Chain A
């Protein structure tokens, strides 16, 4: 029972971070119908941002969010404006292949400049786990969880309360109708892509103290990310949150009760099963 509670907790904590990566991918898909294969590399860049911030300027990884999130937002908007915008009219498969090329480019540039070494971030306050109700929780993961909740909450408010957020949701539901209602879809697309990139970067920064970081980590993350958004239904934000937490829990329980070596495989099998039998997602909200 104690093991169960323990692995359930760590599953939920990791799941919240997975959810954040998934939301980034899913809003971009919703608005632009782009499946961004380079999304995992954006997470990787966030992780390395946190690492270099600490290594070079003694910046606390969690504080460095303030620096990296706006930068990733700008970078994402530029990427859309300068590169992706011209590719999108060529069709879904072209964009898929294009972002695959982008992902290879970014990951291998990182490999070239930063080498393939496995790195870790050590926090002065991360040594002793906290133990509420006898469940041990690593401090970096707990902090990351709280920040992730705050960011997701803020995003929720942005999407539901502001004009821009409404424009994003409207474009996602029906692009043509949004144009007719006077939404500047080009601008919405650019901001959405910036937002997706910033979310991936933020998740990377938050995950960095809890994971090993290496340049090709994006490969693993992107596949997980697809599992999440497909579980929740492509294009759905609440679906991505549920999918992220579900994947976190399934992985964590699977590692304890099924097999730790096939932990990642459980997610993939779940993914194929959902794609086949519930292609609109477990909650039927995607499209």
Chain B
């Protein structure tokens, strides 16, 4: 029961936020934070829990974005179906990627994922029949939809906010599930010592491939949401290396292998990003790079990890005094 309390509080806060939102820019920032929470959680599942640092998550994000977009434009499938389908396709695509890349360990795995992401981007740039090449796709209008008899107004931010909130909750909930599951325990064992994990009988490749598929599903849905919210997809926007780096950043700064880390990381990233964008137009990535370096140097457990540590040491001190 105790563990449900923060979730309830979070859900209430999420539901209340649009009521108090002063303007649509505020809601836009909230949507970005929720989208990045989902993406950070997607990366964190693999990078934080299993210790497999991927530099190629932009590929999974991009696959989700393209699938959602292509399904809508060419087959008339509405985005709310397209987003989960995009996630599924990304998860399917992750299987061969995982089978290839997971034969490598540590930094070699990271380099292989980087190469895979570059290959996917090249394909998107050159396979014009399907992806429309460097031009990409643009949608002008979204199909009408009625929820509980009310027409959804696609020009307002509210429906997107609702979708983003649901997706972010799904991302955080699957991280929370993973943490207490048997698979999660396997992953931590793999992260700490892969040979030992194998020696006690864990099928490490299977565990890693399954986790990558979950991670890809979440990242792909993030891509689908991006396509649906920005109504625009091209290789540079959805397959850029810097997207992979931003996912790494969120999980790293927020707290690797924690449930709340991606949310904190996303709040931090988006706040820094939007503040800087307002002042300088370009250059928000300067600060991402800087904060990543500072975090690794001074706070490798991330903001969430550090806060939790402080909290538990405080708790121990208070309880200690009570006992004495």
A83, B277: Cα distance in complex, Å:
28
List residues of chain A with CB within 8 A of the CB of B122.
Answer: 261-262, 264-265, 268
**How many of B's residues come within 8 Å of A, CB to CB?**
41
Instruction: Indicate if B95 sits at the interface (CB-CB under 8 A).
Output: no
Instruction: Indicate if B106 sits at the interface (CB-CB under 8 A).
Output: yes
A17 to chain B, nearest CB (A): 20
A102, B245: Cα distance in complex, Å:
12
Instruction: Indicate if B103 sits at the interface (CB-CB under 8 A).
Output: yes
List residues of chain B with CB within 8 A of the CB of A93.
Answer: 51, 53, 106-107, 110
Known pairs A93-B53, A112-B283, A265-B119; A104 contacts B100 (CB<8 A)? no
A261, B291: Cα distance in complex, Å:
36
Known pairs A105-B289, A265-B119, A265-B122; A96 contacts B283 (CB<8 A)? no
- B296 touches which one: A97, A104, A105 (CB < 8 A)? A97
Known pairs A83-B293, A101-B290; A272 contacts B108 (CB<8 A)? no
**How many of A's residues come within 8 Å of B, CB to CB?**
40
Of A84-92, A155-163, A240-248, which binds chain B?
A: A84-92
Q: Using a CB-CB cutoff of 8 Å, which residues 253-282 of chain A contact chain B?
A: 261-262, 264-265, 268-269, 271-272, 275-276, 279
List residues of chain A with CB within 8 A of the CB of B111.
Answer: 35, 226, 230, 275
A25, B103: Cα distance in complex, Å:
23
A265, B107: Cα distance in complex, Å:
21
A284 to chain B, nearest CB (A): 16
Instruction: Indicate if A173 sits at the interface (CB-CB under 8 A).
Output: no
Instruction: Indicate if B288 sits at the interface (CB-CB under 8 A).
Output: yes
Known pairs A101-B290, A104-B289, A111-B282; A261 contacts B126 (CB<8 A)? yes
Known pairs A100-B245, A112-B283, A276-B100; A105 contacts B290 (CB<8 A)? yes
A279, B107: Cα distance in complex, Å:
12
List residues of chain A with CB within 8 A of the CB of B126.
Answer: 261-262
A90, B107: Cα distance in complex, Å:
14
Could you tell me if B107 and A96 are in contact, using CB atoms closer than 8 angstroms? yes
Could you tell me if A96 and B282 are in contact, using CB atoms closer than 8 angstroms? no
7 A/B residue pairs, CB under 8 Å, sorted by A:
A93-B106, A98-B293, A104-B292, A108-B282, A265-B122, A268-B115, A272-B116
